[in-house]
Structure 1
Amino acid sequence: MKISKKSQYACIALLLFASHFTLGQDTKGSTAEASAESDGIFPKGQKGSENFFTGNAYNYGLVQSDTSLTTMIGNVYFEPGARSNWHTHPAGQILIITAGEGYHQIEGEPKQLLKKGSVAICPPNVRHWHGASPDQGMQQLYILPNTEKGIVQWMEAVADQQYKD
């Protein structure tokens, strides 16, 4: 059975909407102390390469880019303390935090705290990194538009001192 693009978009929107109200709550309705992994709405995915991440990060692809959509969407789960290397995206990137807590930093700007519901915009060709806080994992949806321009350019690891500052 073939699912229309409109139906695919509606499913993604519904999942995001539902996650806003259900993630991070225990059975009593209060904020859970559980990890972002158990709160996530998508499977953990494949472990990311040590060449691109410090600590353990896992990617789960949701929408693969094609010539009509030219957009890639996926989920990354960062274990506590895990982070990406510095990197850029030719057409930019949008991050939507669905569980946990972490950071995002554009080179030359202060590090930003990200929590469930946060949205971070990474402009095209601008160096940045993102990852979990030291004590709590983080899950994020990533959206890469205009993939015909390219996907990602990986660079060096984020130094421990940069991560801590």
Structure 2
Amino acid sequence: MIHGNRLRQSFPFTILLGLFGLLSLTVNAQTDISKGIFAKGQLGPAENFTGKAWNTGLVPQDSTLTTLVGNVYFEPGARSNWHTHPAGQILIITDGAGYHQIQGQPRQKLKKGDVVSCPPDVPHWHGASEKTGMQQLYIVPNTEKGIVKWMQAVTDTEYQDKKK
């Protein structure tokens, strides 16, 4: 009888602990955006990125589709260098938060669901926010014109959007 009472008294406590455990797993799964629907991929070269950015190619360049598609995961604080695309680029933010800036324009905040169109041959950069990573799909059309021209690194002042 005493053993049965202990079981009844501890059973609600066990259920409560289990619910907290499930809630913890759910919260962690929602905040860890590095595990997107695509593989993390290859670490981007340090000469083109500040911090760690991981690239997975999804649709390779070919002469039929002439479109390149991939996924990039930027760790918090990571960003691309300034760069251009001869035929432009489309970004679709699939998770997290970050920034995008076209040269000569203010830095724009990005969040899940945002779509960005980068004009042809116009310098721009994109990357994660300081505290949250960012997942993005990129689409580079008309690859027969070229894919990317890398330029200088984005300075900390530019990244932090502080006026010089």
Pick one of 100, 120, 127 that aligns with 2:116.
Answer: 120
Task: Say if 2:58 is the partner of 1:37.
Answer: no
TM-score normalized with structure 1 length:
0.80
List aligned pairs for 1:13-162, cutoff 5 A.
34-38=31-35, 40-162=36-158
Work out the CA distance in 2 between the residues paired with 1:35 and 1:92. 30
TM-score normalized with structure 2 length:
0.80
Q: 1:30 to 1:118 in 2, by over 3 A?
A: farther
Segments of 5+ residues of structure 2 without an aligned counterpart are 1-22
Structure 1 runs of 4+ with >2 Å offset:
26-33
Work out the CA distance in 2 between the residues paired with 1:34 and 1:151. 32
**SS class of match (2:65):** coil
Q: 1:27 to 1:72 in 2, by over 3 A?
A: farther
How many residues align structurally? Answer: 139
Indicate if the aligned counterparts of 1:35 and 1:100 stay in contact, CA closer than 8 A: no
How high is the sequence identity, in percent, across the aligned residues? 65
Higher helix content, 1 or 2: 2
User: 1:110 is aligned with what amino acid?
Assistant: P
Work out the CA distance in 1 between the residues paired with 2:157 and 2:25. 39
Indicate if the aligned counterparts of 1:83 and 1:132 stay in contact, CA closer than 8 A: yes
Segments of 5+ residues of structure 1 without an aligned counterpart are 1-25
Work out the CA distance in 2 between the residues paired with 1:30 and 1:82. 23
User: 1:140 is aligned with what amino acid?
Assistant: Q
